[in-house]
Each structure stands twice: as structure tokens, then as C-alpha cells.
Chains A and B, each alone.
Chain A
Amino acid sequence: MEINAENMLFDQLNAAVKASNDKKIIIKNVLGQRYIGSGAENKEIVIYGVAGNALGAYLSNTDIKVYGNAQDATGDTMNSGSITVYGHAGDTIGYAMRGGTVMVEGDAGFRVGIHMKEYGKHIPKIIVGGKTGDFLGEYQAGGIILVLGIGYENECPVGAFCATGQYGGKIYIRTRHMPRDLPPQVDVKTNADKSEILPLIKEYCSCFGADFNSLSKDEYMLLTPSTSNIYKRLYCNRSM
């Protein structure tokens, strides 16, 4: 099914998407309509234009492709499936996601992967081709964030306060430059083992046509939390 989103409000557009029994839905002329694919299950959604906030929130088993940019909160609390953005993405992408993959060809904004978590086999992944803003992986509790930093080889491709409050999961960054203002509870490993991320790099390259050979040869920095109980020592347990 194909929908022309021109002059459609978000609720009209999303009602049209929901009303369709087709597995594959193509939406053209999208101009910032919010919540596309929110709560969607077992669909394939292709978007041309700029997808609005909360694209694919609470997503399950659905693949979304955006030919254009995505705004904030892409993949909010996403459960499974994939969101692929052939462009840039805004802030808080992958907020509290616990499964599936969000892949951004270009740059992403602040607080990417905040509260990202994992459970058992549900290990979410966020791959950003370019750079990210401040607070990458804030409160991260699980999953893998990979920042390739393509085009930002001479600087650290993540903003300040990366991994603040991180207590689980892993952040890989293709860089030799130390991120600014790292919090004390984070362990940094330079030139980290890549076996876990090679399939992700490959996936990125096959989607966006980047050079796997050169990306896979480079050095990656790995950030992990030193403890999963970051507040244990904060409290005094006297009953009052």
C-alpha cells in the first residue's frame, strides 16, 4: 500500500497506516508527522521525507526505512525490529529500547541510547555512521551502541558526558580520541576487540555502501561500566 502523506495530520496518517492490512506500507511526502509506526507489529514501513518525533515507538517485529532524516525519540522503548535512517536523526533515539536495531547513516543528536537496556536474548543495537551529541548512552543499562564517526576522523565523534550513569551495556566508538568529560564509573578500553561489532559494521556498510575493509581495520574504543550497582555506596540504611 502507498500513502501520500501530503497535508495529512499525524493522526490521519497513522490511522491510514493502521487501517491497512498490507504488510508493506510506503509513505511518501512525509513532513514531520509524529508517531509513525508507534506500537506497530509485523509490518514493513518505508518512509520518504522527514519522519517526525517518536518514529517507531514501542515497535515490535517491524522494519522501518526512512529515506530522509528522522526527528527526536526515534525507536522510543522499541522492542524488536529495525529502523534504518538514510540521513540524520535527532535527540534521544533508542530511548529505553530493549531489542532490535536502529541504524543512522549520518549524525545523531543528544542522549542517543539513553536508558537502553537488555534482557536475555534481547540485546538492542544502535549504529550511528557519523557523530553524536552530548550524553551518549546516558543511564545505559544494556545493549550495544556503535558510533562509526565517518568523516570525523580528526576529533572524537561523540559529545561531552558520554556514558554518564552507564551501568550496563557497551559503547564502541571508532576513534583514537578520548571523549570529553567521561564519568569516573566508566572503564575505557582503547583498540578493543572487534569480534562483536564486525557484523554491525558489515550491516552498516551493506545498507549505506560504506567501505567495510577500511572501517573494520580501524581502532575502536570500548566504554563499559565498572559496576552494575552504581548507587550501592550512596546510601545509609538506617530505618527512620
Chain B
Amino acid sequence: MAINYLQPDYEVVRNNDRCIRCRVCERQCANEVHFFDEKRNQMLADETKCVNCHRCVTLCPTRALKIVKTDHCFKPSANYTESIIKDIYAQADTGGVLLSSMGTPKEYPVYWDKMLINASQVTNPSIDPLREPMETRTYLGKKCEDVSYDKTGKLMIRHYPGLQLETPIMFSAMSYGSISKNAHECLARAAEELGIYYNTGEGGLNEDFYKYGKNTIVQVASGRFGVHERYLNAGAAIEIKIGQGAKPGIGGHLPGAKIGADVAKTRMIPEGSDAISPAPHHDIYSIEDLRQLVFSLKEATDYKKPVIVKIAAVHNIAAIASGIARSGADIIAIDGFRGGTGAAPTRIRDNVGIPIELALASVDERLREEGIRSNVSVVAGGSVRSSADVVKAIALGADAVYIATPALLALGCHLCRSCHTGKCNWGIATQKPELYKRLNPEIGYKRLVNLVTAWTHEIKEMMGGMGINSIEALRGNRLMLRGIGLTQKELDILGIKHAGE
């Protein structure tokens, strides 16, 4: 047998004085790390299988467990780091493309953390959101630009199909297949209660969730899984997925192992067959072709639904967004490269695309320059981690944000970045019934409602501090931001001044 060069990344530390041999850890671990040694009357662990998801740690009734990063080490090198060495070993073992999940863990600049928000002092007094009304309601879609009057002098306003959000936050696309049915139920119910939207992703819409249609965005990707006339009309908006921040230029491969009976029914493909969504839509090679898909969807839904085009943040994002704004789309969703994924080739996730902050700023700037900003709304996603990130995104020009990783964290995700294995111990990124039943939709949806409610309150506090009482007045208000520790070039792209200026 060949030598396995890969040593475990983590150590399972068990306090045997505390361990009562209840074997909960063993039952809870789908990776089969823990096992009971009858002879020694002791729990043991096979750490090679541990993904550090904390399921055992969290459920251990005596707090006997902790997972620590192993201090077993290679000879330190700043160039050939441990992860580089291990990746090479793994590829030499398998000949395979390295696969990863969730957002990149690499140390790229997080521009959210290099921007500071303004507040009023003395002049333009701040507003107390507990006492005064603060408007977080937001409308997405094309806006009426020209003012005209009828013969009686009454203002004529043309309304375009749009979305009404009670707070400028939506749950971004995660397909049924990549995440569980229970996870989808949590998102759908939370969206309904919050007056916002969740997004089906590209895997179709489960029959049980048609009732949440008015809070649903249905997605159409290159594989067109589960797309039909009833599906298109079920949601409040239709999103054409061109790209995803974590894997720009790469499509989706849902392995056959994740396509059980119900996922197969929803996607309308045979059980156990792979579901392949290649990177390009093979009928889209130009903005004109995109326009064709936008209008075929509008025709199929009687022009009643806004169409969103979702793209990954890449180098020429401003020019691409300008094209999309002219394609007939109502909303552009931009997904930054630090965004999450259910599975992506590691090298793509960690090296392709650009940060959402820079992409958003340059798109908003370009659309304004070209006088077409009100043709579309802009939704920013790809690592929006807190209410402060939301405020900064809106000040940079976003109409709303898409969040996904924070929503999964709210549902119990511990960011172990192993979604692609399909063995999520928290019942989120799995299709195994014994695992997804661990996620209780009744509890899960309330945690999502809590999260977004808390963020909304913080957004109001921050807006109030700036003396601003509506999202409308914050949008694109870059004077409310200052950079900290940024170069002049970065400040120019973000369109903000440095702190102190």
C-alpha cells in the first residue's frame, strides 16, 4: 500500500475524566471520526476524517471534547506553506481537481473593514431610531425616469415590475440539492415573515414551497433544471444566473450522489444522474443574446416579473454591467469573489474574480456616468457579513444586498467548508434524511428572522447616527464613508476620501 503523506489537520482532544461514554459523538458524526473501544472502555477518534464542524463538541453533554488545530508541523516556510504542501500531496494521490466549499479562507483584503462610517455631531443632528420613523423599505427594479403630465396636469408615472423589500437584505441563491429541503424551508418562511425574498438557486422549486412564491426569486441557470412555465410564474422575480462570485467562469456539477428521489423530482432529472450546469448559457454569447433570454422570460410571464441578471465580480465588471443595464434586465446582482459556494474548484475559488466592494463601486459609478443607473437596481453579494457591511454596501451604491453564508451560520453552519462532501452534520448541505432532519425548520426560520431583524435594527442605528432616515438617502452616499489604510488608487475606485480628509 502506498504511504499516505497527509496527516490530520485537527486533533480531537477528549477529557477522559469528563467523558461518560454516552457515544453521542459517535452517533452525531457522519464522518465517522468517533468510535468506542469496548476492551478499553474508552471513546477513540480517527482524526483523519475530522472536518472540524463542532457537531460533537456542541452536543457532548459533559463538555469533554474540543477540536484543536494540530501543532504537528512541516518545516515552516512562508512560500511552501502547509496547505500548499498538502494540496500537492492530495493531488499526487488522486489526480483530481481540488474541490472546496464556502468562501475563500485566503488572506485577501476585506475592504469593508477598511472603510469607516460617518456620524453627525452638532450639525445635522443624529436621529434616534427608537423614537423616530426610519425607512428601511426598498424597491428593486427599473425606475421611472421621465416626468410627464396628462391633460389635467396629473403626474403620469410608469410603473415597472419590481420587488418590495421591508429591509434591504435578501437570501441569495442556494439550490435545493446543494442545501437540504429543511434549509430551504427555513429560508422561505423567514423571507415571508421578514417581507424579503429568498432565492431557489438553480435546482427548481419543490412543490411544497410554491406557497411561498410571493417571497421567492426563481433562478434560471444554464442547465435550466426544474424550469417550466409554472415555475417561472411561481416566484416574484426571475434571476438569470450567469456567474457566481466563488467560481466565476465555472459552472455547477451536482454529483449524482446528491440527487435523491425528491431532488430528482424537483430538478426533473433521473435519480442518481449528475446535474451539470456548465459555465456558459450556450445560447448567450453577447448582450444581445442575453437580451433574448431576458425577453423570452418576460414574454413567458407577461412582463409581470422583474428579471435579475446575476454575475460574478470580474475584471471588466463595469462594462459588463453597463451592457446588462441595457439588456432589458431590471436588476443586476453582483457576486464578489469572497462569496460562498456549495462546491467549487479550490484554485478558482481562491484566485479568480475581484472583491465585491471594488466591483460594486465601479459598477455604480459607471452606470451613473452613462446615465443608466435608474434602468436597473444593483444588488451586492459575496461576503456581506454584518449590518455594517450592509450599510457600507448601500453607501457605495447598492440598492440591497444578498446574504447566504450568514444565513447558513444562523442555521448552525460552523464553516467547516466541507459542503461538497454531502455529509453536513448540521443538516444544511446534505441530502441524507438522517442528517437533514437535525435541522428543525421551526427553530431555524426563527433564527433567520432574529438575525435579519437584529441587522435591520443596527442599520437603523447607524443611519440614525448619520442623520439619515431612509435607505433611499443612504444609497450611493459615499460621503458617509472614509477609507482607512487604503492607497489613493483604492480610494479612487471606491470613490471615497481617506479618513481625516
Contact = CB atoms under 8 A, between A and B. Distances in A.
A168 B270 contact: yes
B17 to A, nearest CB: 31
A141 interface: yes
A228 B273 contact: yes
A168 B105 CA distance: 36
A122 B270 CA distance: 11
B42 interface: no
A73 B270 contact: no
A144 B90 CA distance: 40
B283 interface: yes
A202 interface: no
Given A73-B292, A236-B90, A39 B99 contact: no
Question: What class of interface size applies to chain B in its complex with A?
Answer: 35 or more
A84 interface: no
Interface string B195-230: 000000000000000000000000000111101110
A131 interface: no
B273 A39 contact: no
A79 B419 CA distance: 32
Interface stretch (A50-58, A154-162, A170-178, A207-215): A50-58
A174 to B, nearest CB: 26
A95 B274 contact: no
Given A38-B300, A231-B255, A239-B418, A141 B87 contact: no
Contacts of B292: 34, 53-54, 73
Contacts of A220: none
B273 A77 contact: no
Interface in B246-292: 253, 255-256, 264-265, 267-270, 272-276, 278, 282-283, 292
A77 to B, nearest CB: 5
A118 B270 contact: yes
B422 to A, nearest CB: 10
Nearest to B227: A77
A82 interface: no
B91 interface: yes
B274 A114 contact: no
B268 A117 contact: yes
Given A73-B283, A76-B283, A231 B273 contact: no
A237 B93 CA distance: 11
A154 B272 CA distance: 40
Contacts, number: 158
Contact of B99 (A77, A92, A138, A236): A236
Contacts of B346: 240
A139 interface: yes
B100 interface: yes
A82 B276 CA distance: 26
Contacts of A95: 224, 282-283
Interface in B75-101: 83, 86-87, 90-91, 93-101
A162 B35 CA distance: 51
Contact of B273 (A11, A41, A72, A168): A168
A230 B94 CA distance: 16
A95 B278 CA distance: 13
Interface in A181-240: 228-240
A236 B97 contact: yes
A96 B296 CA distance: 14
Which of A38, A60, A95, A168 has the most chain B CB atoms inside 10 A of its CB? A38
Contacts of A115: 222-224, 282
B224 A240 contact: no
B164 interface: no
Contacts of B278: 139, 165
Contacts of B96: 233-237
A162 to B, nearest CB: 15
Nearest to A234: B97
Interface in A120-161: 122, 138-139, 141-142
A203 to B, nearest CB: 24
Contacts of B233: 39
B157 interface: no
Contacts of B301: 39
B132 interface: no
A34 B421 contact: no
Given A122-B268, A167-B276, A234-B97, 11 more contacts: A34-B295, A35-B295, A95-B282, A95-B283, A119-B264, A141-B273, A231-B276, A235-B98, A236-B90, A236-B94, A236-B96
7 contacts: A53-B292, A54-B293, A72-B283, A95-B282, A119-B264, A168-B269, A238-B90
Interface of A: 10-11, 14, 18, 34-35, 38-39, 41, 53-54, 57-60, 72-73, 76-77, 79, 91-92, 95-96, 98, 111, 114-115, 117-119, 122, 138-139, 141-142, 165, 167-168, 228-240
Interface of B: 6, 51, 83, 86-87, 90-91, 93-101, 105, 222-225, 227-229, 232-233, 253, 255-256, 264-265, 267-270, 272-276, 278, 282-283, 292-293, 295-296, 299-302, 346, 416-418, 420-421
